Copies of this chain bind each other. A is one copy, B any other.
Amino acid sequence: MRSSDPPADDPGAPDAFLDPLFLGPKGENAQLLESQLLDLLRDHVYWRRNFHPEDRPPIPADAPYRQDFQQTLARTRQELFWLSAELKRAVPFFSPRYVGHMCSDLLLPGLLAQLATTLWNPNNVAEAAAPATLDKELEVGRQLAAMLGYSVDPSRRPCAWGHLTSGGTLANYEGLWNLRAAAFYPLALAAAARRLELDLGAVGPARRPLDRYRPWQLVNLSLDQVLALRGDCLERVRARGDRRLFQRFTRAIIEERLETLGMASFFARHPEIEPPRVVVPVSAHYSWQKAMKVLGLGAGQLLRIDVDEHMRMDPAHLAAVLDDVLGREIPVLAVIGVLGTTEFGTVDPIHEIVALRRRWRRRGAGFGIHVDAAWGGFLAAAFRRPDGSLLPRATLRRRFRYFPSSEVYRAFAAVGDTDSATVDPHKLGYLPYPSGAFVARNREVVDLLSQEAAYVFDLERDGISREEQLRDLGRYVLEGSKPGAAAAAASVTFRVLPLHHRGFGRLMAQAVKNGEAFFDRLNRLREELADVATLVMPFETDTCILCFAVNPRGNRHLAVMNRFGRRLYDALRVDPEQPVQTRELFGSCTALARGAVAGRQADRILDQLGIDRRTFRAEVEEASRDADHIFILRHTLMNPFLLADRGDGSYLERFAHFLATTIRRLADQG
């Protein structure tokens, strides 16, 4: 049954609601794309023509008849033909035959908006270069923030803000950059006050003079407390009415800041404070390691928390690490929770991280929390009512077979209590590259980031609102150029499909249902193949990325299993040397390295596979037998048409069938 109602529990059919939203695996909606694109293109052309109708065309009407014109045109055509041919080697992300990386077909409204806006080529770095698209980017930031559970009511504090980035990696850098700016600001503030011998009276959460706070206390204030402390101190100096003093004070703060001194000199100047640690689950994306290097924090200061049997950060291990680190008064800049790992689609217990922070606050310490929801963030749309409130879990449960588990539900519900998040429209947002996003719970944090002097004095004097302030986007973000086309794409998309369960949430529900259907199918496949191989899903997904390892029957050696997996993957991968049509279906792969999961998880997985634990070694001695990683096949089930069955079997069913026959064939070959 195809229906336009919100999807019932019918795993056998994709939600027909999605039909007009994609070009379609066979280009079914080509006419829609073509007619609307032409309309937008011509609208642009005639806008040019009539922008100032009195202007005469600089390119003469007879230019196309000139030989040099034709030569250049021919050359352009030739190179575009070449490109078009080359693109046939591209990975067919558009096809339901592709279930590899976190890519799928693009949402038509976003694609059209992106293409049309590229003709105008706005740069959202500043309003002067993008009056038409900058406000859309800030609106998109608010929509994403609301979807994740942050308050976006400008009449309340804190009020969230967000913006697009070139990807999740940059948003992750930005998360640490923001938290670092806040964490070490109070030390600079206290040093500046000391330098100017300013008595600011009782300030901060403990209502006492600044010099009565221990440095450890100052680096353990929450972000909101830092901003309140800053506002308080500046206001007190401002109230004295001495503009010069105010300027000397703000200048002294800047001079004392970590951002001015650099990491080395700042910590040399504050020997009582250790350089900070950052805490991630072992399952975190490699960009976190890169972030630590780039920001000068040091990859060695990244502490890794074990995951449990669901590939979720283990709260007990996190608690133990925090006990150890904070107990020794070493600052923890941030704990990173992953809302949808890129390898297994699993969701960390954000609520447990929030609870741990609450407990530590009572003990006088704290840490920032950034949620890396690059992959899974958009699933939050399935959780939200149009008014922004959270659907009860019971309501959600009725729509799915397994989703969301109680842990996953609580994790999504807790994001609003964290400091910031990464969420990528170019992943589960089905929008073109580049489109990542950074969202922060308290937009006042930008006061700590501006590239120029703090200017509260002027801001307030000139009555510049927060909204206006944020339009100067380049001052507060890491990037210096920002395609307005990406903002337009997200903006149009979220207007067509608002970020709640009746809008974008339906697309998310489809992805989750795809994942559930594949999970069930893999379980059947496991039984069907029991005579030739053992198929194990090492971790159940919390979203729609599914992984499995497969061991030919009777084999006990990890190296043999890995080779078997690689041969299977060879049948499922794009080979740059061969036409892409030579592959029937497409998956991707990953590996669990020794040390990437706790030993007991590795042991469990190997036991289930029937592999001798001793052949999983950090140091490979016998390459025909041992390996330092477990090879795993990985599938992202986000294509909206995976479950469509037009009489020739659904793509998902065909994928399972292909796996079955290929595994049998490979097992036969031995």
Q: What per-residue 1/0 map shows which CB atoms of A487-499 lie under 8 Å from chain B?
A: 0100110011000
Residues of B within 8 Å of A647, CB to CB, are 56
Decide if A93 is an interface residue (CB 8 Å cutoff). yes
Q: What per-residue 1/0 map shows which CB atoms of A251-263 lie under 8 Å from chain B?
A: 0000100111111
Residues of B within 8 Å of A103, CB to CB, are 121, 123, 129
Given the known interface contacts A58-B26, A132-B88, A294-B177, the answer about A260 and B299 at a Cβ–Cβ threshold of 8 Å is yes
Decide if A581 is an interface residue (CB 8 Å cutoff). yes
Decide if A200 is an interface residue (CB 8 Å cutoff). no
Residues of B within 8 Å of A479, CB to CB, are 166-167, 169-170
B56 contacts A483, C-beta separation under 8 Å = no
Given the known interface contacts A90-B132, A120-B87, the answer about A41 and B33 at a Cβ–Cβ threshold of 8 Å is yes
* Chain B residue at minimal CB-CB distance from A115: B115
Decide if A379 is an interface residue (CB 8 Å cutoff). no
B261 contacts A300, C-beta separation under 8 Å = yes
Please count how many residues in chain A sit with their CB below 8 Å of the partner chain's CB atoms: 169
Residues of B within 8 Å of A451, CB to CB, are 286, 289-290
Given the known interface contacts A485-B433, A492-B83, the answer about A58 and B131 at a Cβ–Cβ threshold of 8 Å is no
Q: Which of A42-50, A144-152, A209-217, A221-229 is near enough to bind chain B?
A: A42-50
Residues of B within 8 Å of A92, CB to CB, are 51
A116 contacts B23, C-beta separation under 8 Å = no
Residues of B within 8 Å of A46, CB to CB, are 27
Residues of B within 8 Å of A76, CB to CB, are 20-21, 36, 108-109, 112, 492, 496
Given the known interface contacts A20-B76, A262-B297, the answer about A55 and B25 at a Cβ–Cβ threshold of 8 Å is yes
| Copies of the polypeptide in the assembly | 2
The CA-CA distance from A181 to B59 in the complex, in Å, is: 50
How far does the Cβ of A262 sit from chain B's closest Cβ, in whole Å?
Answer: 2
Q: Which of A170, A258, A296, A588 has the most B CB atoms < 10 Å from its CB?
A: A296
Scan residues 56-78 of chain A and give those whose CB is less than 8 A from a CB of chain B.
56-61, 63-64, 66-69, 72-73, 75-77
A267 contacts B268, C-beta separation under 8 Å = yes
How far does the Cβ of A410 sit from chain B's closest Cβ, in whole Å?
Answer: 28
A58 contacts B573, C-beta separation under 8 Å = no
Q: Which of B40, B58, B119, B646 contacts A57 (CB 8 A)?
A: B646
Decide if A574 is an interface residue (CB 8 Å cutoff). yes
Q: Which of A11-19, A358-366, A395-403 is near enough to bind chain B?
A: A11-19
The CA-CA distance from A106 to B44 in the complex, in Å, is: 14
B131 contacts A89, C-beta separation under 8 Å = yes
B56 contacts A648, C-beta separation under 8 Å = yes
Given the known interface contacts A63-B16, A113-B83, the answer about A433 and B121 at a Cβ–Cβ threshold of 8 Å is yes
B121 contacts A432, C-beta separation under 8 Å = yes
Decide if A122 is an interface residue (CB 8 Å cutoff). yes
B132 contacts A87, C-beta separation under 8 Å = yes
Decide if A370 is an interface residue (CB 8 Å cutoff). no
Decide if A203 is an interface residue (CB 8 Å cutoff). no
The CA-CA distance from A89 to B131 in the complex, in Å, is: 6
A101 contacts B121, C-beta separation under 8 Å = no
Residues of B within 8 Å of A651, CB to CB, are 58
How far does the Cβ of A459 sit from chain B's closest Cβ, in whole Å?
Answer: 17
* Chain B residue at minimal CB-CB distance from A48: B27
Residues of B within 8 Å of A14, CB to CB, are 58
A26 contacts B57, C-beta separation under 8 Å = yes
The CA-CA distance from A94 to B117 in the complex, in Å, is: 13
Given the known interface contacts A58-B14, A289-B451, A496-B75, the answer about A481 and B298 at a Cβ–Cβ threshold of 8 Å is no
In the complex, the 8 A-B pairs of residues with the closest C-beta atoms, listed nearest first = A296-B296, A262-B298, A169-B480, A4-B68, A167-B481, A58-B644, A263-B263, A27-B45
Given contacts A91-B129, A260-B298, 12 further A-B contacts (CB under 8 A): A19-B59, A24-B59, A36-B77, A86-B133, A100-B128, A106-B121, A118-B118, A118-B432, A168-B480, A259-B299, A263-B296, A433-B484
A-B CB contact pairs (8 Å), 23 listed: A23-B45, A32-B73, A36-B80, A48-B95, A51-B97, A51-B581, A52-B584, A55-B648, A80-B109, A83-B113, A87-B120, A89-B131, A106-B119, A122-B433, A166-B166, A166-B481, A167-B480, A262-B298, A264-B298, A265-B275, A296-B297, A426-B481, A433-B483
